[in-house]
Structure 1
Amino acid sequence: MSGVVLSVDNIGKAYVEYASELQRFARWFGFPVKPKAEHWVLRHLTFRIATGESVGLIGQNGAGKSTVLKMISGTTQPSEGKVALRGRVSALLELGLGFNPELTGRENAIYSAGLMGLPQSRIQTLMPSIEEFAEIGEYFDQPMRTYSSGMQMRVAFSVATAVRPDILIVDEALSVGDAYFVHKCFQRIREFREAGTTLLIVSHDPTAIQSLCDRAILLDDGRMVLDGEPQQVFDYYNALVAEKENRTVRTERSSSGRIVTQSGTGEAVIEDVALTDGGGLPVEYIGVGQAAALRVRARVVQGIERLVFGYTIRDHLGRPMFGTNTHYTDQPCQHLKSGDRVEFVVRFPMNLGPGTYSVSVALTSAETHLVNNYQWRDLALVFTVANIGLPPFVGSAWIPAAIEVSALDREPTA
């Protein structure tokens, strides 16, 4: 990775309302006209992306993510600041953007590829591979108005990635695809990454961001909140979702150097989190398949009617391996008073593959932290799983298998 391929300097976007169309025209020609109203949807955004780097852009709806991508791809201009790009850019933005519903998929593909700057001779050469990747059969030669949203996405992605770009920009268009084609799209994106393509992707899917991206940028209300490791940024994003007014979200650096995100209103708090082995002894290192227990102690600060404890085990990329809570298991605590203390012990076999894992814990009133979030702690505990004496295997789960092997009769020879 070397050199900056994308530079965003203090960009902002404002939508302006004028008292009349005449004032709007006057502004276009450089005359000083004071607008009737001015609404900034994005302000003071600055970041750099290096060649070959993959960056995720996350945030709640209306945070400004799509606006940023449109300014970077050139479909709209910033009201302030500037964007500098180096290399060929391919962008998959709003679904159907630039497509003519009266043209066939093939005709739209030719038109879109031409807008990407490809010569007609190259487009004709690429058309068989575009058609093959889209996998929509005879619909490729039918009007696009007959397409489902998933079929439109298939054509759009096939065209946008027909030639490996220097920079690939992907908005949330992939969210409308079927599971098979989305898997196929992400496989192509990974291949581009390995070949050196720079990736900028918007997605609400933490697994996609954490598996594809080197870092993530969190936007909230048109401004950058955080730029860091994907897991750290998603932890903070989850806390923002829980605390919409952002009054109790806080981050701190743990003794191991990790950024830990906490949030909550504080009616109940977590006092201690520990992982123990089968004998009840605290451990940070445990073997695949061994008996384990997660022990969490909580204290009630202010009387509450209902308390639910939940936890999630995540891998080193922040992807959830398993999680549940006492609402799902029908074990909520009821009518707690100030000063009450509760211990939760979760016993389970450590059927995870070798690697490093973390535990996120939460105290709420229901099955989700979006109702009453008393306390939420990401990276509350980190532990390592190792394969001790078991047959070698790959993957993130230990699923003991019995393989039967038997010889079959030979096929008769002619």
Structure 2
Amino acid sequence: MSNVLEVKGLGKAFRDYGSEFKRFATWFGASVTPRNEHWVLRDISFSVGRGEAVGIVGQNGAGKSTLLKLITRTLMPTEGSVAVHGRIAAILELGMGFNADLTGRQNVYHAAGLMGFSREQIDAAMPDIESFAEIGDYFDEHVRTYSSGMQMRVAFSVATAFRPDILIVDEALSVGDAYFQHKCFKRIKEFREEGTTLLIVSHDSGAVQSMCDRAILLQGGRVFRDGDPVEVMDAYNALIAERENSTMKVERLETGQVQTTSGTLEAVVKDIQIHSMDGERIEFIDVGQDVELRIDVEARADIPRLVLGYMIKDRLGQPVFGTNTFHTKQVVNDVAAGCTLSYVARFKMNLGPGSYSISTALVSTDTHLVDNYEWRDLALIFTVANHSQAHFVGSAWIPPQIDIKSLP
């Protein structure tokens, strides 16, 4: 697979020289020491193959948007290089390049022209652009009258009117309504099937894990992790949860999967098992079977307020179902160091056949962003098989009652 994008030793610093004259002098090679210098990115290196889909993730300020602007050359690097082999279409900032005093149609001519397309090519594509955007008569109204969602519709429609070699999508898609987001992702998937390379910045782990072959995690302006999307998103979630005096541990399980654990470890999951209703521990579960999820938790310090949460995920790492004892109104207060609590959750395994995992979280509220005692992905892996139900497809078992009547 040949590379369409090669990033080598890339870095970007924003410099304050104290005067425009000194900045101007640097354009001609003058050696001027900046008064202040802030590196947003440093030593970024990676390559992307033709037809590959890569997710760029990281906390706010990690340098994601700056990286995309360097790749699209809307910013120039301070050091390093970017080599692009093919045509790029990018949706970075909402309405970027749009003139508020022009209509949507006029902005399409302007934006597509800057992308290198002729008037004749744009005329031919205009009906599809207008149809895809679905903003009706507003297409011929000034952009200043548009909502953010309408701007997104036009921006995405023109950027994807001609299939690019590389499609870059920043968080701008998040402003669209659910219907249009589905349309966007459908078009992105069609482009991928036709060989387009995808770079997508998103905080949506489901989108990254379902659409991407690989993910790159930026932290502090550097590449922190580059690899399997599920493993990278687990590391990302652990970074979000990490707080002062907390730890983050990564280890490879016997299955070959990578498990990420983070937190202060003031409380930990000592054991987690699934049992049948007669008390037998099981790893292979029948569709619809009644089960008990048993989780033993040990407090290693005095815990004023303890909440247990668990999340069932499919083999791609996407959430299937999750809850916690904050939402079930079963918060435990004043847990003494050395105390062990046994949690038992009973439910029907109404999942489709496949491999699943359970992640656990020990926190103080409804989120791990306040007190993260322990957050552990892949805490338990189990398999669901269909031994007793009628054949069906999908990830959920929702047996219907179907009535059929002959209409007059």
| TM bin (shorter chain) | over 0.9
In structure 1, distance between residues paired with 2:140 and 2:292: 59
In the other structure, the counterpart of 1:160 is 159
Report if the CA contact (8 A) 1:300-1:340 is conserved: yes
In the other structure, the counterpart of 2:270 is 271
Offset at residue 278 of structure 1 (A): 2.5
1:375 aligns with 2:374: yes
Q: 1:245 to 1:190 in 2, by over 3 A?
A: farther
In the other structure, the counterpart of 1:295 is 294
Report if the CA contact (8 A) 1:8-1:47 is conserved: yes
In structure 2, distance between residues paired with 1:151 and 1:244: 39
Instruction: Give 3-state SS (helix, strand or coil) of 1:180's partner.
Output: helix
Superposition pairs for residues 49-60 of structure 1, below 5 Å?
A: 49-60=48-59
In structure 2, distance between residues paired with 1:364 and 1:151: 40
In structure 2, distance between residues paired with 1:361 and 1:109: 48
* Bigger Cα displacement from structure 2, 301-310 vs 178-187: 301-310
Instruction: Give 3-state SS (helix, strand or coil) of 1:154's partner.
Output: helix
Root-mean-square deviation (CA, aligned residues, Å) is: 1.1
TM-score of the pair, normalised by structure 1: 0.97
1:286 aligns with 2:249: no
In structure 1, distance between residues paired with 2:337 and 2:228: 38
Offset at residue 141 of structure 1 (A): 0.5
Structure 2's unaligned 5+ residue stretches are none
Instruction: Give 3-state SS (helix, strand or coil) of 2:6's partner.
Output: strand
Superposition pairs for residues 195-214 of structure 1, below 5 Å?
A: 195-214=194-213
Offset at residue 239 of structure 1 (A): 1.0
Instruction: Give 3-state SS (helix, strand or coil) of 1:121's partner.
Output: helix
Offset at residue 247 of structure 1 (A): 4.6
In the other structure, the counterpart of 1:150 is 149
Letter in 1 for 2:175: V
Report if the CA contact (8 A) 1:267-1:302 is conserved: yes
1:345 aligns with 2:344: yes
In the other structure, the counterpart of 1:178 is 177
Instruction: Give 3-state SS (helix, strand or coil) of 2:247's partner.
Output: coil
Offset at residue 120 of structure 1 (A): 1.2
Report if the CA contact (8 A) 1:134-1:155 is conserved: yes
Report if the CA contact (8 A) 1:104-1:144 is conserved: yes
In the other structure, the counterpart of 1:412 is none
Q: 1:264 to 1:77 in 2, by over 3 A?
A: same
In structure 1, distance between residues paired with 2:244 and 2:93: 29
In structure 2, distance between residues paired with 1:178 and 1:112: 23
Report if the CA contact (8 A) 1:353-1:385 is conserved: yes
In structure 1, distance between residues paired with 2:18 and 2:164: 43
Identity of aligned residues (%): 59
Report if the CA contact (8 A) 1:278-1:290 is conserved: no
Greater than 3 Å deviation, 4+ residue runs: 244-247
Report if the CA contact (8 A) 2:243-2:263 is conserved: no
In structure 1, distance between residues paired with 2:92 and 2:337: 52
In structure 2, distance between residues paired with 1:7 and 1:294: 47
Report if the CA contact (8 A) 1:10-1:43 is conserved: yes
Cα deviation code 1:158-209 (max 9, x no counterpart): 0000011111000011011011101110110011111111000001111111
In the other structure, the counterpart of 1:328 is 327
In structure 2, distance between residues paired with 1:95 and 1:333: 45
Superposition pairs for residues 250-261 of structure 1, below 5 Å?
A: 250-261=249-260
In structure 1, distance between residues paired with 2:232 and 2:83: 25
Instruction: Give 3-state SS (helix, strand or coil) of 2:193's partner.
Output: helix
TM-score of the pair, normalised by structure 2: 0.98
Q: 1:47 to 1:247 in 2, by over 3 A?
A: farther
In structure 1, distance between residues paired with 2:383 and 2:284: 5
Instruction: Give 3-state SS (helix, strand or coil) of 1:249's partner.
Output: strand
In the other structure, the counterpart of 1:306 is 305
In the other structure, the counterpart of 2:20 is 21
Offset at residue 389 of structure 1 (A): 2.7
In structure 2, distance between residues paired with 1:8 and 1:18: 28
In structure 1, distance between residues paired with 2:388 and 2:323: 30
In structure 2, distance between residues paired with 1:164 and 1:34: 44
Instruction: Give 3-state SS (helix, strand or coil) of 2:279's partner.
Output: coil
Q: 1:393 to 1:401 in 2, by over 3 A?
A: same
Offset at residue 279 of structure 1 (A): 2.1
In the other structure, the counterpart of 1:82 is 81
In the other structure, the counterpart of 2:10 is 11
Cα deviation code 1:96-118 (max 9, x no counterpart): 11000000000000111111111
Instruction: Give 3-state SS (helix, strand or coil) of 2:406's partner.
Output: coil
In structure 1, distance between residues paired with 2:9 and 2:284: 46
Letter in 2 for 1:180: Y
In structure 2, distance between residues paired with 1:101 and 1:194: 35
* Bigger Cα displacement from structure 2, 250-259 vs 99-108: 250-259
In structure 2, distance between residues paired with 1:81 and 1:280: 61
In the other structure, the counterpart of 2:36 is 37
Q: 1:193 to 1:244 in 2, by over 3 A?
A: farther
Cα deviation code 1:311-366 (max 9, x no counterpart): 00011111111111111111122212121111111111000111111100111111
Instruction: Give 3-state SS (helix, strand or coil) of 2:99's partner.
Output: coil
Report if the CA contact (8 A) 1:249-1:261 is conserved: yes
Letter in 2 for 1:105: G
In structure 1, distance between residues paired with 2:198 and 2:245: 30
Letter in 1 for 2:19: S
Report if the CA contact (8 A) 1:53-1:214 is conserved: yes
Structure 1's unaligned 5+ residue stretches are 410-414
* Corresponding pairs, count: 408
